[in-house]
Chain A
Amino acid sequence: MLRIDELRKRYGEKVALDGVSLTVRPGEMFGFVGANGAGKTTTMRIVMGVLQQDGGEVRWEDRPIDFAVRRRFGYMPEERGLYAKMRVREQLEYFGRLHGMAPARVRRSADDLLERLGLTERRDTEVERLSLGNQQRVQLAVALVHEPEMLILDEPFSGLDPIAVDALAEVLLERTAAGVPVVFSSHQLELVERLCDSVGIIASGRMVAVGTVAELRGRERHKRLRVVLSDAEPGWADRLPGTIVAKDGDEVILEPADDQEVLRQAMRLGRVEQFGWVEPKLTEIFREVVA
């Protein structure tokens, strides 16, 4: 289990992290979302030890993280970095060996990953000669090759085509199924919603919402009503008590002052076909909590 407790970091005058706390349980896929500059990368770099925090603590399995522990993590930094002149497989083997893996095991793991990520045919190509999308896949493979106990991935999906996204998602889900916690940041909220068990929303160095997708939805759940009427006079929607968010033919989405009053009015105005709360999308929740 990963516990991040009250992390603080400032760059000169600018406060980057202002008490960030979160917990990621074994086998949990944690989506880290927030605007650019909100503090996602800073948090991840501190967890990986490439940046020193000013305050707060990061614990793994209830112990402070030391160098030996961190070696068993997999990391994909925001700024991608690979040796341009090294071949794909050679590169994976190098990083695997640096993590202390035996040669034979590294080779097996590398070949398996290359196969999964569709890079088998390019395995002896120098990285600089690959397309950007393929370089990105190699970068992911580097983070995964040593079968890490935890994964910290900074925007792993950006720049990938839909097929590569699916391939990577499958690999990550397999790791979480094996009990490995995965933390990744992303701006693709639909993807986060689809993949993640938990989501943390960060804004200006503070966690503004953390919880399972269902919990986050709960906060915003009883906010928007969807009403579908038939046999109603044109302009019926404007007579409902509440603020209209969207209108499309017989369908209206509104934020009501009093939901029961809306229902009573709707029944007077026509035949109520559908009436219910709208499940908020993560995008909406995000806009709401960040605003």
Chain B
Amino acid sequence: MIVELGHFALILALMVALVQATLPLWGAHRGDVRLMALAGPAALAQAALVAFAFGVLTWAFVVSDFSLAVVYQNSHTAKPMLYKIAGTWGNHEGSLLLWVLILAVYGAAVALFGANLPTRLRARVLAVQAMIGVAFLAFLLLTSNPFWRLEVPPMNGRDLNPLLQDPGLAFHPPFLYLGYVGLSMAFSFAVAALIEGRVDAAWARWVRPWTLAAWIFLTIGIALGSWWAYYELGWGGFWFWDPVENASFMPWLLAAALLHSAIVVEKRESLKAWTILLAIMAFGFSLIGTFIVRSGVITSVHAFANDPERGVFILMILGVFTGGALVLFALRAGAMEAKGLFALVSRESALIANNILLSVAAFVVFIGTIWPLIAELFLGRSVSVGEPFFNAAFTPFMVALALILPPGAMLAWKRGSVGRSLRGLIPALVLALALAALAFAMQSGRTALGPVGVLLGVWVVAGAVTDLWSRTGRGAAGERLARLGRLPRADWGKAVAHGGMGITVFAVAAMLSWKVEDIRVVQIGESFPLGSYEVRLDEVSEVEGPNYFSTLGRMTVTRGGALVTVLTPEKRVYPVAAMPTTEAAIDYGFLRDLYLVLGDKQASGGWAVRSYIEPFANWLWAGCLLMAFGGLLSLSDRRYRVAAGARKLVGVPAE
């Protein structure tokens, strides 16, 4: 019964969304206040209905109601509770319901906190948001209904893919979706502004927090996914340039570009048309990502419920929304004339360079991802595009971005001087060069990637510190230090996020170039060297877990005779899903991770063992978290908390 109520709530939500998508828009056009006022309550009702439906589905997973097809296919009574709940979104239907829920919640957030938005803009934003809601609710109900019942409920379920039974992955999809769907807010604001024919600083001030929030969620979601791949897949890789990973990376790159261009709109009333276009493209790429993941047109290690019919539906949604918005853009973009003028050397230009590099990088990822499809369809060639291509074609843009970041971030608005901002950065440059030279001297005869990573990482981090310090003005060091604490949070957010980017760049280069790998057969009781460590395989035993069987190794790691750690790598078999997995044992450290994997028993009596030293692995996740934390600091800046967008900010008049 309760399941039918959930189903019913979902259908009602579609009806409410239909009303929300049409009447307020008409009202905004006619200037009818009552019709416009409908948008808020409708958004709240839609969110409540979808939340109820989601609650019902979660309930069905918690009590293992196998009369539901989704629960039967993705759950099992013996599964730990956390994964029963996570199983709600660990499948196609449930994850789409989560998608729709987040979409509705964002809409409700505008209805709740958007009291200070102009009435017309608010009605239009909510209407556009509801249009997306209508499309996805229809998609959910017509092609992937999570409330489909089975005629004869089976005794037990078929279990969730064991690779997904993991705390890191349980929270990876919700974060990604919060990010993907968060970009729908930027899209709705962009389309509403196009209908309105007006973009100003207040508009940018409204769009930026939403984009920032979406970007923070995407950053955390991607980092979680990457961390999961690192410890779960068993060979210590952290990024595979897989189509599904790329699908989340492209919106991230464009959201990062959008964040920066919205600053220019907010502070200088320039780059308006471009910012609108970016907002449309960022959400467009979220939809493309959804299409890639859900349609299965591009083979990927992430084999979700792939279905061509669903793919066509999403392709239609993608075409209608992105295409429609772009047509609107073509018609109306002329009205968005820029106000703030700026010189070729200025903060504005630096941010444009940032935007060009990020957008082109996103495009390179895009073409690399879909090229196999294009080549197959139009050229009759069956090709693959993988890591070597992306390393060669994508990395240069990131290198350029890291190089221009410190001086660009310190340039003055309107008209800057490269010489002046570089002069302040001389200590940062010297430090970066010195440490890179040191790294080069220490590593003897390996790729140049490591020292280059040190150079870029130190340059960006020291540049961020220099930037922050320069904000404290002149005077004695003590005085400036005191002023440091009083700087706006946005300044701190900028420095922390840029510093996080530097650390991430360094960690990626370090992991790619200084990894130590060892593969060998080891007898029980035998030791082998790994870098400066000594590893001994003590014993291998068979163990049973709650819903799996495990072959458990015990390995002792020593260094110069002193005990470092005892690690227990496992091989697991999940009988219900008929899937074996490897569980690497990792000793996390500040400068390196020790990463041990147990392989098969050999005919000779020993065990195959893979061991790695992963240098600076933790720095990668720390760098990503710092980026997200920097975003959070910016988001908590007073300007956004106090009456965001209430007053129309007048930019500094141009010369």
**A, B in one complex:** no
